[in-house]
Chains A and B, each alone.
Chain A
Amino acid sequence: MAVRDLSSSSSSPELHVLAVDDSFVDRKVIERLLRISSCKVTTVESGTRALQYLGLDGDKGSSGLKDLKVNLIVTDYSMPGLTGYELLKKIKESSAFREIPVVIMSSENIQPRIQHRCMTEGAEDFLLKPVKLADVKRLKELIMRSGQAEEGKTKNPCTKRILQDDIDSSPSSSSSSSSSSSSSSSSSSSSSSSYHDDVSSLDDDTPSSKRMKLESRVHD
């Protein structure tokens, strides 16, 4: 089952990234890019291998993979066999892994309509090859931010969809992990003034979120 377990980590949790690319050279480069950005990396050479790793290849012997924690999947678009797009679809179709952000890498001659198709299918982002350190840093920041939004609550519109899903699927959950926003004065404050401040900063009015507001969480 997919877990973005950022709550159990300290200030900078280590992301586990699964990188999929049929090119040996590119695998070496992306692995290094990710390692140097403090990520744990697993590289595989094909979409099929990626599915095997995730336990999505139809083989029922995947019970041991419940502890598998993958925070991000980065895949090349054009690969022999299963393309990056097909891999993306399979991941998004699976209940276990569809919340994991998937990023597609491709060379410049990828047509806009293909890019659009990938984004529609739920790709988090598109990276133009050759991938640079700045790309990976940006990606990591993006993933860390949306990951925190799942644990805590922010009003980042990009994470609203994840937020909504989270609320809808677990209405009684009220994680008490505090967000690491710099504006947090206290995570367990129950004084009414800070409570009201918090409420005013929230723009989400579903019944579940109202219940969560009462938990006096601190937000951006």
Chain B
Amino acid sequence: MDTLVAQLQRQLRDYTISLYHQGFLDDQFTELKKLQDECSPDFVAEVVSLFFEDCEKLISNMARALDQTGNVDFKLVGSSVHQLKGSSSSVGAKRVKGLCITFKECCDSQNFGGCVRCLQQVDIEYKSLKAKLQDLFNLEQQIVQAGGRIPQVDI
């Protein structure tokens, strides 16, 4: 009979692997995990939290710029997209990063409709990732509370 800890650990493993396989996360996320230890046990959670704050701020900037009907500053939108692409790349947010690449192309070609669509997708995507990572961190917390160790998941 599986202990609670063993069950939770298996759940965590499966969930983590699925996030990678579905393209939500890439190996930069794994790199971030390497930087977490007993001295900095919440490092990954802190960094992704900063990232999601960044998403909110940048998406808001982009929305405001795209809202200037007839006078859209595509360079400004593009510069925000560039920043978002950078930070998503730094945390391993693979899907968000991919969307930013498409988004940047729309900015460069001043494709208004394309930009609006990309903005909507990026908004949905970062929120989706945020929810999934929250689930992941919750699982980790449950393991620790049940007296277990967070397993290292090899992708």
Using CB atoms and an 8 Å cutoff, list the residues of chain A in contact with chain B.
Answer: 22-26, 28-29, 32-33, 36, 78, 107, 129-133
**Contact across chains for A129 and B54 when beta carbons are under 8 A apart:** no
A118 CB → nearest B CB, Å: 18
> Which A residue's beta carbon lies closest to that of B40?
A32
Interface centre among B31, B54, B90 (most CB of A within 10 A): B90
For the complex, give the distance between the alpha carbons of A132 and B51 in Å.
Answer: 17
**Contact across chains for A107 and B89 when beta carbons are under 8 A apart:** yes
Please pick, from A22, A25, A78, the residue contacting B51 in the complex, using a CB distance under 8 A. Answer: A25
> Which A residue's beta carbon lies closest to that of B104?
A109
Contacts of B85 in A (CB 8 A): 107
> Which A residue's beta carbon lies closest to that of B37?
A36
**Contact across chains for B86 and A129 when beta carbons are under 8 A apart:** yes
B47 within 8 A of A: yes
B28 within 8 A of A: yes
**Contact across chains for A130 and B89 when beta carbons are under 8 A apart:** yes
**Known interface pairs A23-B83, A107-B86, A133-B34. Does A28 touch B50 (Cβ–Cβ under 8 Å)?**
yes
> Which B residue's beta carbon lies closest to that of A29?
B90
For the complex, give the distance between the alpha carbons of A8 and B40 in Å.
Answer: 30
Question: Contacts A24-B87, A29-B91, A36-B35 given; 12 further ones with Cβ under 8 A?
Answer: A22-B83, A23-B54, A23-B87, A25-B50, A26-B87, A29-B32, A107-B89, A130-B28, A130-B89, A130-B92, A132-B31, A133-B34
B43 within 8 A of A: yes
Contacts of A28 in B (CB 8 A): 46-47, 50
**Contact across chains for B34 and A26 when beta carbons are under 8 A apart:** no
Interface centre among A22, A29, A33 (most CB of B within 10 A): A29
For the complex, give the distance between the alpha carbons of A130 and B43 in Å.
Answer: 17
Interface string of B62-104 (1 = CB under 8 A from A): 0000000000000000000011011101111000000000000
Please pick, from B31, B40, B54, the residue contacting A25 in the complex, using a CB distance under 8 A. Answer: B54
**Contact across chains for A130 and B35 when beta carbons are under 8 A apart:** no
**Contact across chains for A133 and B28 when beta carbons are under 8 A apart:** no
B113 CB → nearest A CB, Å: 24
Contacts of B90 in A (CB 8 A): 23, 25-26, 29, 129-131
Interface centre among A23, A25, A26, A36 (most CB of B within 10 A): A25
> Which A residue's beta carbon lies closest to that of B88?
A25
**Contact across chains for B31 and A32 when beta carbons are under 8 A apart:** no
Please list 12 pairs of residues, one from A and one from B, whose beta carbons are closer than 8 Å in the complex, sorted by A's number: A23-B83, A24-B54, A25-B47, A25-B54, A25-B86, A25-B91, A26-B87, A29-B47, A36-B37, A107-B86, A129-B89, A130-B92
**Contact across chains for B28 and A32 when beta carbons are under 8 A apart:** no
**Known interface pairs A23-B83, A23-B86. Does A130 touch B31 (Cβ–Cβ under 8 Å)?**
yes
B92 CB → nearest A CB, Å: 8
**Known interface pairs A25-B47, A28-B46, A32-B43. Does A133 touch B35 (Cβ–Cβ under 8 Å)?**
yes
For the complex, give the distance between the alpha carbons of A107 and B86 in Å.
Answer: 7
Contacts of B83 in A (CB 8 A): 22-23
Of all A-B residue pairs in the complex, the 8 with the closest CB atoms, nearest first, are A25-B87, A130-B90, A130-B28, A32-B35, A132-B31, A130-B89, A25-B50, A25-B51
Contacts of B46 in A (CB 8 A): 28
For the complex, give the distance between the alpha carbons of A131 and B47 in Å.
Answer: 14
Interface centre among A26, A28, A107, A130 (most CB of B within 10 A): A130
